[in-house]
A and B are shown apart, each in its own frame.
Chain A
Amino acid sequence: NAGVTQTPKFQVLKTGQSMTLQCAQDMNHNSMYWYRQDPGMGLRLIYYSASEGTTDKGEVPNGYNVSRLNKREFSLRLESAAPSQTSVYFCASHQGASGRSEQFFGPGTRLTVL
């Protein structure tokens, strides 16, 4: 099993450009998440999807949109990138059942907006 995969690993954008970050998991998990991590800071939740077909805003959703394409895939879109969106983006998945709350993280996408 590959676990959680993310593409691309690195990206440089100019202000105003758009892009989509891709995430896929092969663990048959119900819930998926997008976080951003700024230097020296923790993880802030952008959007999450508790189950296929549903998405909800997290702590910092402005400037982002998401799509839960199917159970495996959860994409994050920046419509008009801004320098404030320079960050490392992590996708995570979670089984969704009661009990264990462990989240599995992808390797991250390092995004720079000039």
Chain B
Amino acid sequence: GQQVMQIPQYQHVQEGEDFTTYCNSSTTLSNIQWYKQRPGGHPVFLIQLVKSGEVKKQKRLTFQFGEAKKNSSLHITATQTTDVGTYFCAASTNAGKSTFGDGTTLTVKP
């Protein structure tokens, strides 16, 4: 089945530093979503990317979809303590199922 690999598994940063997580697939994706899960919480949808080369921004978060639609990244500029959590990418199939990456857990030291 479809597999989505996410790196790194963990990232520890000082508050104010930037953070990037990467999502890679061996197959071309129709779209990709990003979710955030706070410690002890449930995944919450952040954004969906559909077009090749697409770039979307949400305040300090920048999401990119690769030209070949096989990879994606999430970049956070100047991290804050409120950014802590695990960030997941998810690739969906035409049937509506999503395959989730294992996530990148971000910790931010004040």
Contacts and interface: CB of A to CB of B under 8 A. Distances in A.
B33 interface: yes
Interface in B23-78: 31, 33, 41-45, 48
Contacts, number: 54
B15 interface: no
A42 B101 contact: yes
Interface stretch (A11-19, A20-28, A67-75, A102-110): A102-110
Nearest to A44: B100
* Interface bracket on B: 20 to 34
Nearest to A96: B96
Contacts of A101: 31, 33, 48, 90, 92, 96, 98
A58 B97 contact: yes
B98 A106 contact: no
B1 interface: yes
Given A42-B101, A101-B33, A106 B42 contact: yes
A48 B96 CA distance: 10
Contacts of B100: 35, 42-44
A48 B36 CA distance: 22
Given A42-B88, A101-B31, A102-B48, A107 B96 contact: no
A47 to B, nearest CB: 11
Contacts of A100: 48
Contacts of B92: 101
B95 A50 contact: yes
Contact of A90 (B31, B43, B45): B43
Interface of A: 31, 33, 35, 40-45, 48, 50, 58-59, 90, 94, 96, 100-108
Given A59-B1, A100-B48, A102-B33, 11 more contacts: A40-B9, A42-B100, A45-B98, A50-B95, A50-B96, A58-B97, A90-B43, A101-B90, A101-B92, A103-B98, A105-B44
